[in-house]
Structure 1
Amino acid sequence: MLNLEHIASFLAVLRAGNFRAAAHERALSQATVSQHVQKLEAALNTCLIARSHSGCSPTQAGIVLQPYAESLLSINTRVLNLMHNQQVSIGASSNIGVYLLQPYIKSFMAETGGQFPVEIVIQKNPVIADKLERGEIDVATMEWWDDRPGYIARPWRQEELVVIVVPDHPWAKLLTVPRALLVDVPLLGGEPGTGTGRLLLHHMGETARDMQEVMQLGSTEAVKRWVKAGLGVSIVLSSTVVEECRAGTLRAIPLEGAPICKTLYVIWRATLRHDSLPLRLAKWLLDQDTAAANTQLEVAPQVCTAL
């Protein structure tokens, strides 16, 4: 078993660049820090730190160990906080973290008087799922869930997919976009792993297979900028373009036929105590109808009908 004190000293040496400064940081003697690193190296049967007169640097093994060591200490801190209901960590996929989550967290912190710090982790959907499984976050908000065992996933919000174009685009005055039109235009893709492609394929069949995704830009923010530059059109969540539609820099148009909506989820471990802070936050997200969320719902129809 690895000793967390030894790991903490190893990371301190990497941060400080030498054993003396690491000892000062950890309020330990230099000999103790040196002993910690030696014992960690013995436990792993490898050299982790290259020592020289100019300072210390990680060996290749030390480089490999570093992110795992940081994760171990982070999880240790989170476990201690969780046992005392001191802090909660929520992971959000990029679109949720950037465009949707803020009013809910603000409302939660106001309700609890700010006594429980909330750590926000915003990453791509697959990364958030992995962090939840590794215990690096307590609650996840995602654009899909793959039903892996040991977790509870609850539908949270329904978000309509819309086509976005620049105001002078030939489609800008359309009330809806016929799905067949999407086959003949360059379609700009955003963040991979959001499940949007699978959702379109489910609803649109072969039309979705024939659409030409010319670029994968990595984020909705990037997509919006490229669409504004006249480099193509895209399909995004309606809530991600509210500000641009208000400002008149983009037009958001529903797809023809029944709306295609994406279900967003709140997910947590099934083993959470009923009185735990993470479960309290998860239920808050599911139950609360914040003023900001209401505003989003009221604005969404205006975005489409103002076209």
Structure 2
Amino acid sequence: MIQTPFTFQQLQAFVTVAATLSYTRAAAALHVTQPAVSMMIQELERRLGVALFERSGRTFTLTAEGERFRIRTVEMLGMVEETLEELRLGTRSVSGVLRIGASTTLGNYILPQWLGRFYHQHPQTRVELFVENTHHVVEHLVAQEIAIAFIEGPCHDSRVVTRRFQKDELVLVCRPDHPWALRQTISLTELEAERVILREPGSGTRDVIVTELERAGVTIDTPLQLGHTEAIKTAVGAGLGVSILSRVACAREIEAKLLAEVRLDSVRMDRWFYCCRVKGKRDSPILRAFLDLAEPEILD
């Protein structure tokens, strides 16, 4: 009989700490105490005979051995999870819970359509959709609190694999009676002089806007930052300023003439939407079923 130098609980603790780099957050995710997490990591390192983390004061990072072990551990836990799911199902039918994370534009305007089709085909499943800004969604993914993430921009975390699937255009909008509404184009200088309402820092949409405008040498006035696209559209409609939004998010309002689209001279803001998964983790049956349905929407 093979004797393993670790327990399943220790592996779960290690992967969670490696994802969060925080004993406090790992303890919260695992629903145990912080000393319990610390003790499991210390015991795991003692049994393996290697240091998995390099500690410096209150901060720590994975060692080279720790990163190699993390990759293999994610694979092992994924295989165990998949096997248990297959044994539980006992048939080819798909059931269970699928936890998905999505940044605001995707979570509000694209994913609900996919989820509707998925639930129609697999009514015995339950899907939990968590909608937050891109930064927080990626955090949940690497902590393995969600199975897959859909975000508004590339993810540069080495623990995550990404695939782009849809192109999006960001457009400048104002209220229909704004002086710009009758103009063909607006200069960058004029944009600098106007109040621009944007999402909060950490938003994928905001990151693209700020990056593109900085590249063009433009600094905008953002006295009002709102955490939700719907709130921004309401604020623009109330005359509190203009905004730059995803076409996906404001197409209905533009068509209904509740907002006016204005072309911005010299700058075109295009971006890709991305789907992200934890590197090395195998897809569960329910996630594979969801991806099979969404596959026609996902393009390389």
TM (normalized to structure 2)? 0.64
Contact 1:268 1:279 in 2 (8 A): no
Name the CA distance, whole Å, in 2 between partners of 1:70 and 1:246: 51
AA partner of residue 182 (structure 2):
K
2:234 aligns with one of 225, 241, 245: 225
- Using the TM superposition, give the Cα deviation of residue 3 of structure 1 relative to its aligned residue in structure 2, in angstroms: 11
Name the CA distance, whole Å, in 2 between partners of 1:94 and 1:248: 23
Query: Which residue pairs with 1:271 in the alignment?
Result: 280
Query: Which residue pairs with 1:254 in the alignment?
Result: 263
Aligned identity (percent) is: 25
Contact 1:161 1:238 in 2 (8 A): yes
Q: Using a 3 Å threshold, how does the CA distance of structure 1 residues 134 and 182 change in structure 2: closer, same or farther?
A: same
- Using the TM superposition, give the Cα deviation of residue 209 of structure 1 relative to its aligned residue in structure 2, in angstroms: 4.1
AA partner of residue 87 (structure 1):
V
Name the CA distance, whole Å, in 2 between partners of 1:82 and 1:249: 51
Contact 1:132 1:140 in 2 (8 A): yes
Name the CA distance, whole Å, in 1 between partners of 2:117 and 2:266: 36
- Using the TM superposition, give the Cα deviation of residue 185 of structure 1 relative to its aligned residue in structure 2, in angstroms: 0.4
Match status 1:146 vs 2:155: yes
The 5-angstrom pairing of residues 1-307 of structure 1 reads 68-69=30-31, 79=81, 83-84=85-86, 86-110=96-120, 112-205=121-214, 207=216, 209-257=218-266, 259-273=268-282, 276-282=285-291, 284-288=293-297
Name the CA distance, whole Å, in 2 between partners of 1:81 and 1:102: 29
Q: Using a 3 Å threshold, how does the CA distance of structure 1 residues 66 and 288 change in structure 2: closer, same or farther?
A: closer
Contact 2:135 2:202 in 1 (8 A): yes
Give the aligned CA root-mean-square deviation in angstroms: 3.3
- Using the TM superposition, give the Cα deviation of residue 229 of structure 1 relative to its aligned residue in structure 2, in angstroms: 1.1
Name the CA distance, whole Å, in 2 between partners of 1:242 and 1:172: 16
Name the CA distance, whole Å, in 2 between partners of 1:275 and 1:188: 40
Greater CA deviation, 172-181 or 90-99?
172-181
Gaps of 5+ in 1: 5-63, 290-307
User: Deviation per CA, 1:91-142, whole angstroms, max 9, x where unpaired?
Assistant: 11122111221111112233x3323322211122111111111111001001
User: Deviation per CA, 1:18-40, whole angstroms, max 9, x where unpaired?
Assistant: xxxxxxxxxxxxxxxxxxxxxxx
Query: Which residue pairs with 1:12 in the alignment?
Result: none
Contact 2:170 2:246 in 1 (8 A): yes
Q: Using a 3 Å threshold, how does the CA distance of structure 1 residues 282 and 203 change in structure 2: closer, same or farther?
A: same
Q: Using a 3 Å threshold, how does the CA distance of structure 1 residues 89 and 223 change in structure 2: closer, same or farther?
A: same
Contact 2:164 2:275 in 1 (8 A): yes
Name the CA distance, whole Å, in 1 between partners of 2:222 and 2:267: 23
AA partner of residue 200 (structure 1):
I
Q: Using a 3 Å threshold, how does the CA distance of structure 1 residues 247 and 82 change in structure 2: closer, same or farther?
A: farther
Contact 2:103 2:132 in 1 (8 A): yes
Q: Using a 3 Å threshold, how does the CA distance of structure 1 residues 66 and 147 change in structure 2: closer, same or farther?
A: closer
- Using the TM superposition, give the Cα deviation of residue 177 of structure 1 relative to its aligned residue in structure 2, in angstroms: 2.9
Contact 2:142 2:159 in 1 (8 A): no
Name the CA distance, whole Å, in 1 between partners of 2:32 and 2:107: 24
Number of aligned residues? 224
Name the CA distance, whole Å, in 1 between partners of 2:198 and 2:283: 40
Contact 2:199 2:206 in 1 (8 A): no
Name the CA distance, whole Å, in 2 between partners of 1:148 and 1:67: 20
AA partner of residue 219 (structure 1):
H
Name the CA distance, whole Å, in 1 between partners of 2:217 and 2:104: 23
Q: Using a 3 Å threshold, how does the CA distance of structure 1 residues 201 and 93 change in structure 2: closer, same or farther?
A: closer
